């Protein structure tokens, strides 16, 4: 953890009352635990995820208003299965167990859990057979609901004093409750979109049953973080590495609002940016926000080191090492800097604290080009470490960052270096910048930009024959890519209208010298990756 007070700690110090308005999610390893937190924050209630090794004392310290046990891949009856101190039920807090969480409640309170004869994955319709505030729907009451099931085990006997509140032919204990103690268990996953009334059920639990006030707003967050940053930094200086992307831009704008000229932003231009990107950074952080901006044009250094290199991983390593070299040299010039600001987001915080950090974690680590040297003496300042990406965007708007910055598609650290397949030359960078600018301009004009996770062009090391006017051409090929995704870990191809692609193709071929053929990439991830290198 960085030196920065995390949001929860800060709340506890500054507003004792508000702290007890949060929901604590205890993670038992489900792939969708973060979704529970996002859903609850959507209702305006602060919610945080903690690993299942959390102790009772730690829970008491957090003092949540309600607790949710997430799902998970284990079986409660197995040796070493993740569990929780039974005394958690004596805290008198409302508790909702989801899937594994429901099984754990039953296991700990005297019910029985076993392997289901038929594992169940997919849609099911629950019949709500007992009135419960969990299933209220405005003034009415749900009678049935389409939900998403994903489990191998199931509850076989519920604890004494619990009642069944919903069932399916396959799951006689689809939802159970102890209304007086406000303890609930559901076998399905209300947090996923496929559970049609899932949001309403979670809202019922958080607001109606647990009594949380929906008063957590980004305005409050901003105010509190600014106070916390001021207090922590005092008279010292902060360095922020700006990449032009959403996260570092929001962090810089936030810290700038807190401490103004005590912040220095360093932007390393490696010469592999998109057209106009460097100028935008200067405009936003140099002119609009008037920050101390150190703009380092290191493009010659980067390009000379990359000369003749075609291997993607070698490109990444060279760019990563050169970035550190340049950044280090610049930051050493800033005397009395005590802090380094970073745009770490909540998913990274949760992932890196999880004992079962799986393949997904490893896959991401090679992406941390622009990561900083381990021997850096600065303390970390990570003011958005409790936020999800969409929340960071809301904060960015709150801080007055322009839409083209907060809504920007992700852009890899090595930039166009991994979108020029094979060797990189200045001429190729220029061609790719021009073509990509047309592609993105057309996407924006068609109102499609926000529907796409990431769209970009790739310059291929292939030349093909064409005919322009009466002359034969022999020029480069360009691939267009656009994908939809939630987190970049998996991705689907964006389905454009063919007319749109024809229009973009014709503009690129007519306006960019050096390209005479354009193709569209229809590969999803997996089996492909989003980038070509």
Interface residues with ligand XMP (CB under 6 A)? 316, 367, 369, 410, 412-414, 454, 488, 525, 529-531
Strand order in the sheet with 337-341: 292-297, 263-269, 237-242, 337-341, 379-381
Burial of 51 (0-12, 13-18, 19+ CB in 10 A): middle
Given 189, 240, 270, 398, the catalytic residue: 189
Question: Which residue, 306 or 530, has its beta carbon nearer to ligand XMP?
Answer: 530
* Contact yes or no for 141/128 (Cβ under 8 A): yes
CB of 89 to ligand XMP, least distance (A): 42
533 noted as active-site residue: no
Burial 326-365 (b: 16+ CB within 10 A, else e): bbeebbeeeeebbbbbbbbbbbbbbeeebeeeeeeeeeee
C-alpha radius of gyration, the chain, whole number: 26
440 by DSSP, 3-state: which? helix
Find out whether 100 and 76 touch, Cβ atoms under 8 Å.
Answer: yes
75, 155 Cβ separation under 8 angstroms? no
Question: Between 85 and 531, whose beta carbon lies closer to ligand XMP?
Answer: 531
Taking the least distance from each CB to ligand XMP, the nearer of 258 and 272 is: 272
Compute the least distance from the CB of residue 419 to ligand XMP, in Å. 9
Q: Closer to ligand XMP by CB, 454 or 516: give it.
A: 454
| Angstrom distance (rounded) from CA 190 to CA 196 | 8
The CB-of-316 to ligand XMP minimum distance in angstroms stands at: 5
Supply the minimum distance, in Å, between the C-beta of residue 18 and ligand XMP.
Answer: 35
What sign results for the dihedral spanned by CA atoms 392, 450, 32, 126?
positive
- When the beta carbons of 173 and 411 are compared against ligand XMP, the nearer one is 411
Distance CA 19, CA 65 (A): 9
Dihedral sign for Cα atoms in the order 195, 201, 202, 203 = positive
189 belongs to the catalytic site: yes
**270 tagged catalytic:** no
- Candidate list 191, 398, 475, 533, residue with the active-site label: 191
- The two three-digit tokens of residue 161, written as one number: 């004093």
Contact between residue 501 and residue 480 where contact means Cβ atoms under 8 Å apart: yes
What tokens appear for 306 in the block?
């990359």
* Cβ at position 375, least distance to ligand XMP in Å: 22
Q: How far is the CB of 379 from ligand XMP (least distance, A)?
A: 23
Q: Beta strand 112-128 with 292-297: parallel, antiparallel or unpaired?
A: unpaired
Closer Cβ to ligand XMP, 97 or 413, answer by number: 413
Nearer to ligand XMP, 167 or 316 (CB): 316
DSSP 289-333: S--EEEEEE-HHHHHHHHTT---HHHHHHHHHHHHHHHHHHHHHT
User: Considering the complex, what minimum distance in angstroms separates the CB of residue 241 from ligand XMP?
Assistant: 12
Q: Which is nearer to ligand XMP, 181 or 525 (CB)?
A: 525
Spatial separation of the C-alpha atoms in residues 73 and 171, rounded to whole Å:
18
Smallest gap, in angstroms, from Cβ of residue 452 to ligand XMP? 12
Question: Which two structure tokens, joined as six digits, stand for 530?
Answer: 């989003």
**Nearest Cα to 153, choosing from 130, 119, 127?**
119
Per the listing, tokens 């000229």 go with 261
Catalytic residue among 7, 10, 52, 99: 99
Q: Which is nearer to ligand XMP, 142 or 429 (CB)?
A: 429
Residues 6+ apart with CB under 8 A from 100: 28, 29, 30, 69, 70, 71, 72, 73, 74, 76, 151, 153
- Minimum CB separation from ligand XMP for residue 380, in Å? 18
* Residues recognised as catalytic: 99, 189, 191
């Amino acid at each position: 953890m960085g030196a920065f007070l995390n949001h929860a700690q800060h709340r506890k110090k500054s507003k004792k009352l508000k702290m007890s308005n949060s929901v604590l999610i205890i993670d038992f390893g489900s792939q969708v635990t973060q979704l529970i937190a996002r859903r609850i924050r959507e209702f305006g209630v602060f919610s945080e995820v903690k690993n299942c090794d959390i102790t009772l004392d730690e829970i008491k310290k957090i003092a949540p208003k309600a607790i949710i046990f997430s799902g998970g891949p284990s079986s409660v009856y197995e040796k070493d299965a993740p569990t929780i101190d039974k005394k958690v039920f004596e805290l008198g807090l409302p508790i909702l167990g989801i899937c594994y969480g429901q099984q754990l409640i039953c296991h700990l309170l005297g019910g029985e859990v076993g392997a289901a004869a038929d594992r169940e994955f997919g849609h099911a319709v629950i019949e709500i057979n007992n009135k419960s505030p969990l299933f209220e729907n405005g003034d009415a009451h749900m009678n049935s609901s389409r939900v998403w099931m994903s489990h191998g085990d199931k509850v076989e006997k519920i604890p004494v004093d619990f009642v069944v509140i919903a069932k399916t032919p396959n799951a006689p204990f689809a939802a159970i409750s102890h209304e007086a103690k406000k303890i609930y268990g559901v076998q399905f996953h209300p947090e996923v979109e496929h559970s049609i009334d899932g949001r309403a059920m979670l809202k019922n639990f958080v607001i109606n049953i647990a009594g949380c006030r929906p008063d957590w707003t980004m305005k409050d967050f901003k105010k509190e973080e600014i106070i916390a940053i001021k207090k922590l930094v005092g008279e010292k200086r902060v360095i922020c590495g700006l990449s032009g992307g959403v996260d570092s831009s929001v962090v810089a704008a936030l810290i700038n609002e807190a401490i103004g000229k005590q912040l220095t932003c360093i932007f390393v231009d490696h010469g592999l940016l998109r057209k106009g990107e460097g100028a935008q950074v200067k405009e936003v952080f140099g002119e609009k926000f008037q920050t101390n901006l150190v703009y380092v044009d290191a493009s010659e250094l980067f390009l000379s080191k990359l000369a003749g290199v075609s291997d993607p991983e070698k490109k990444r390593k060279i760019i990563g090492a050169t970035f550190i070299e340049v950044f280090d040299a610049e930051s050493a010039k800033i005397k009395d800097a005590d802090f380094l600001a970073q745009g770490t987001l909540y998913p990274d915080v949760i992932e890196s604290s999880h004992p079962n950090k799986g393949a997904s974690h490893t896959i991401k680590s090679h992406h941390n080009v622009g990561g900083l040297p381990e021997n850096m003496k600065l303390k970390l300042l990570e003011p958005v470490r409790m936020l999800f990406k969409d929340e960071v965007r809301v904060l960015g708007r709150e801080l007055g960052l322009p839409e083209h910055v907060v809504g920007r598609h992700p852009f890899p650290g090595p930039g166009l270096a991994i979108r020029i397949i094979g060797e990189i030359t200045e001429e190729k960078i220029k061609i790719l910048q021009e073509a990509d600018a047309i592609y993105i301009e057309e996407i924006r004009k068609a109102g499609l930009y926000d529907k796409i996770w990431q769209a970009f062009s790739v310059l291929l090391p292939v030349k093909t024959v064409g005919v322009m006017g009466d002359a034969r051409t022999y020029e480069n090929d360009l691939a267009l890519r656009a994908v939809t995704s939630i987190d970049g870990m998996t991705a689907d191809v964006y389905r454009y209208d063919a007319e749109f692609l024809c229009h973009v193709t014709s503009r690129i071929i007519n306006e960019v010298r050096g390209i005479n053929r354009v193709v569209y990439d229809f590969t999803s991830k997996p089996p492909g990756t989003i980038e070509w290198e």
